């Protein structure tokens, strides 16, 4: 005795119904989502019809085909919404800007960030070797953005001394950082 039951073949009534209604299905879905998307949906209906293995015949094959197509359409709409939401969330999380229709991240690349951190560390070490007054002059002018006159006033020294401090600091940094 052979206990193995062969798989049933595709429903011929459903396939016949699809072939008879293919043009109508295409018109129906093309009117809703456009010609190209409509053709994709009808093609997916066909693929599902030929891959379905039914033990019983579908009672209303025409209605089944339209329902199947509408379900495919709804699945695609849900996927599009989910994809758009995911893309929007990613853009917001990564601070992207749009340049000429292209999304561009305004985040600094990791390798550049590491290089900048290393350069900053080297600059701090080089500045630490300078006298306190020169360090203060450099910090007030270059980091806090004060003018030479404002730095001189704040430190209670002449403007020419601040200019000498700045020249000394820049010369030392240039030599220390090999620039």
CA distances from 167 to 27, 83, 134 (A): 79, 56, 9
pLDDT digits (tens, 9 = 90+) for 160-174: 999 999 999 999 988
Cα 149 off chain centre by: 47
**Which domains are seen in the chain, by residue range?**
7-89 (no CATH), 108-178 (1.10.10.10)
Q: Which two tokens stand for residue 126?
A: 């080089």
The answer, yes or no, to whether residue 8 has pLDDT greater than 50, is: no
Residue 172 contacts residue 126 (beta carbons within 8 Å): yes
pLDDT at residue 10, as a whole number:
52
pLDDT in tens, 24-74: 999 999 999 999 999 999 999 999 998 877 666 788 889 999 999 999 999
Where helices occur in the chain by DSSP H, the ranges are 12-33, 35-51, 61-93, 110-128, 132-138, 148-155, 159-176
Residue whose tokens read 């917001």: 92
Question: How far is 90 from 102, CA to CA, in rounded Å?
Answer: 14
Can you give the pLDDT at residue 110?
Answer: 86
Predicted local confidence at residue 91, as pLDDT: 74
Report field, pTM of the whole predicted structure over 0.85: no
46, two tokens: 């066909």
Non-local (6+) Cβ contacts of 32 within 8 A are 38, 73
Non-local (6+) Cβ contacts of 119 within 8 A are 177
Can you tell me which residue has the tokens 């601040």?
162
């Amino acid at each position: 005795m052979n206990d193995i039951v062969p798989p049933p073949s595709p429903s011929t009534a459903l396939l016949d119904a699809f072939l008879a209604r293919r043009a109508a299905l295409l018109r129906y879905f093309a009117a809703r989502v456009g010609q190209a998307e409509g053709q994709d949906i009808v093609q997916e209906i066909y693929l599902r019809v030929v891959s379905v293995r039914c033990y019983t015949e579908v009672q209303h094959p025409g209605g089944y085909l339209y329902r199947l197509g509408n379900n495919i359409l709804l699945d695609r709409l849900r996927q599009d919404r989910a994809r758009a939401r995911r893309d929007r969330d990613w853009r917001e999380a990564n601070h992207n800007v749009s340049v000429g229709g292209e999304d561009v991240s305004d985040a600094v690349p990791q390798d550049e960030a590491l290089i900048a951190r290393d350069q900053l560390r080297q600059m701090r070490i080089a500045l630490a070797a300078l006298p306190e007054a020169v360090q203060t002059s450099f910090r007030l002018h270059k980091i806090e953005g004060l003018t030479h006159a404002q730095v001189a006033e704040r430190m209670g020294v002449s403007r020419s001394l601040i200019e000498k401090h700045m020249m000394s600091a820049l010369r030392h940094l240039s030599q220390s950082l090999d620039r």
